Homo-oligomer: A and B are copies of this chain.
Amino acid sequence: MARKLVVRRGAKVGAPPGTLVHIGKHKPDSAAIRLIGYTPDELSESVIEDMDSYARETDAERILWLNVDGVSDAAVVEKLGALFELHPLVMEDILNTDQRPKVEDYQGYLYIVLRMLQFDQGRQQIHSEQLSLVLGPNFVLSFQERPGDVFEGVRERLRAGRRIRFMRTDYLAYALLDAVVDHYFEMLEYIGEQVEALEDQLIDAPGPDTLARIHHYKREMLLLRKSIWPLREVLSRLSRDESTLISEETRLYLRDVYDHAIHVMDSIDTIRELLVSMLDLYLSSISKRMNEIMKVLTIFATLFMPLTFIVGVYGMNFDVMPELRWRWGYPAVMALMLVIVVGLLVFFRRRRWI
């Protein structure tokens, strides 16, 4: 099993809060930091090679999007934290990549944690990655555990100079949240198709691994639900709270993402209940099948056991067995056995076994 049910937080036991140690699974060699800065009029993209030489821009009108791939380099996070004046708890949470989704309102910025999910079609497993967003008045910081994300569409729209370029950071954050939640749908649609294929298979011809696969998807739904459930509250708070960083217009859009998140939860629950019902169906059909097998066995056994007994009787070697000497003894015994067979068949028919 690749993913753990519960991730070790033990390294932190007894350590003071704010101790910046990366706790997580993915350890790329170093963090890659991509910077996109834009105003309605222009946009520049760059990769920050050396964190030390980077200085924060001071133009309040220009919006910065700093995306960090790989948070295992605690020094990078610490440097960025110092530049953007993040609270020690925020930096700690960015590094400990097994947080529950949450939103926290700090002085001057919002800190949002959510899970970015990928479905590994080879192993049929969901991989979960922590995405931390820091939403300030003119900057958005996004921290991912690994390279590769679902934000390429957002970048395209930024480059193309679309509407997003004319909006503030709250709209950029919304666009990122929307991309993450929309990706959940894509993933769930794929899983939904797999489960429905399994359902068809279940009724037609259950294979030897059908059972294990039902269990497997139930397990994935369990982990998925655990990852997504708290997101509802995050999006609900973002679209209702009175933080000045989020405009009324953007709240409307966030409410839309919230609706989508509810929809995702509904779909997860529907798939889960379907899987439970499938397991019931499987168990019932096994019982039914067993019943049929037992019926065949019982019919055969009850038919042949009396017959075998009778032929056994006339296979005995007693000196005095008058029937053996009778001329019509053999046909009489055969007829007797025929009568028994017919009688038993009538008995089975009455019990609706045949």
Binding site for B on A (CB under 8 A): 1, 4-10, 12-18, 87, 89, 93, 98-100, 102, 104, 150-154, 156-157, 162-164, 175, 178-179, 182-183, 185-186, 188-189, 191-193, 195-196, 199-200, 203, 205, 211-212, 215, 218-219, 222-223, 226, 229-230, 252-253, 255-256, 259-260, 262-263, 266-267, 269-271, 273-274, 277-298, 300-309, 311-321, 323-327, 329-330, 333, 351-353
Contact check, A286 vs B291: say whether CB atoms are below 8 A apart.
yes
Chain B residues in 8 Å Cβ range of A12: 182
By beta carbon, the residue of chain B nearest A282 is B284
Question: In the complex the two chains form, is A262's CB within 8 Å of B297's CB?
Answer: no
CB neighbours of A4 from chain B (8 A): 189, 192-193, 196
State which of B262, B308, B315 has its C-beta within 8 Å of the C-beta of A305: B308
Contact in complex: A293, B293 (CB < 8 Å) = no
Q: Majority SS of interface residues in chain A?
A: helix
Total identical chains: 5
Given A293-B294, A294-B294, are A266 and B162 also a contact pair (CB < 8 Å)? no
Q: What CA separation (Å) do A303 and B301 show in the bound complex?
A: 11
Neighbour of A287 across the interface among B253, B266, B290, B314, CB < 8 A: B290
Tell whether A189 pairs with B7 under 8 Å between CB atoms, given A17-B253, A259-B100, A270-B222. yes
- Enumerate 27 A-B pairs (CB-CB under 8 Å) in ascending A order: A4-B196, A6-B267, A14-B157, A14-B179, A16-B162, A17-B253, A89-B252, A279-B284, A282-B284, A283-B283, A286-B291, A287-B290, A290-B290, A290-B294, A291-B293, A293-B295, A293-B353, A300-B305, A303-B305, A304-B306, A305-B308, A307-B312, A308-B309, A311-B315, A312-B315, A316-B333, A317-B317
Point out the residues of chain B lying under 8 angstroms from A18, CB to CB: 163
The answer to whether A9 and B329 have CB atoms under 8 Å apart is no
With A211-B288, A316-B330, A320-B327 given, can you name 20 additional A-B contacts, CB distance below 8 Å? Answer: A1-B200, A8-B189, A10-B186, A13-B153, A14-B154, A89-B252, A211-B281, A212-B281, A215-B277, A219-B277, A222-B270, A222-B274, A222-B277, A286-B288, A287-B290, A297-B297, A297-B298, A303-B305, A314-B318, A318-B326
Q: In the bound complex, what is the Cα–Cα distance between A284 and B210 (angstroms)?
A: 11
Chain B nearest Cβ from A209, distance in angstroms: 9
Contact B262 A100 (CB under 8 A): yes
- Which B residue sits closest to A300, measured CB to CB? B302
User: Which residue of the partner chain B has the closest CB to A267?
Assistant: B6
Residue of B nearest to A200 (CB): B1
